[in-house]
Amino acid sequence: MPLFMLLCKANGTRAKFFTVFDGEMPVALLYNVYYRDIVYVFYFAVNNNLRGGGYGSRIMKTIRQKYKNRRLILAVEKPDENYENIAQRIKRLDFYKCCGFEQSGNSVKEGKVIYELLAHSENESRVDMKEYYELMKNYFGKGLFALYKIANR
């Protein structure tokens, strides 16, 4: 999704951008989408030069604590041997698993990319595909949602 669209949608009620700092140094960007009791970690990136320093794990721990009464989801590129970045995809999946997220058994296709949905919930209640589609429709609005290609995989 283009950056301008993310910024337009980041109004604080349906979505919000966060910049994470260590002192005055920007460490990471985070973009959350909100719907009912669901928080979708739509975008999360730690500064390349700071990866491996524990920032990502600490940020994920903070997210789990901040939203402990809500259901959390995020999407990762599904590991597939047909892609050159298979090692990166596996590493990313393993990172989120170490941070307490579990594979939900659901995946979606956006364009040509298949994403696996991961979930975390203190009460073990998971976001189902119907709720995921409702979340995305609420986020985009009916008009844009109709243009946004999501296929259940």
Q: What is the pLDDT of residue 66?
A: 97
pLDDT tens digits, one per residue of 111-123: 788 999 999 988 7
Q: What is the mean pLDDT of residues 85-108?
A: 94
Q: What is the pLDDT of residue 2?
A: 73
| 8-65 residue pLDDT tens | 888 778 999 999 999 999 999 999 999 999 999 999 999 999 999 999 999 999 999 9
Question: Per the confidence metrics, is the pTM higher than 0.85?
Answer: yes
DSSP type of residue 71: E
pLDDT value for 73: 98
Confidence category of residue 140, pLDDT binned at 50, 70, 90: confident
pLDDT of residue 153: 52
**What spatial distance separates the first Cα and last Cα of the chain, rounded to whole Å?**
20
Average pLDDT over residues 91-98: 96
Domain span holding position 54:
3-152
**Residue 27 near residue 21, CB atoms below 8 Å:** yes
| CATH code of the domain in which 46 resides | 3.40.630.30
The pLDDT score that the predictor gives to residue 145 is 76
Burial 107-118, CB ≥16 within 10 A → b, else e = bbeeeeebbbbb
Give me the chain's average pLDDT, please.
90
- Name the domain count of the chain: 1
Residues 85, 97: Cα–Cα separation, whole Å: 19
Would you call 13 exposed, middle or buried from its count of C-beta atoms within 10 A (0-12, 13-18, 19+)? exposed
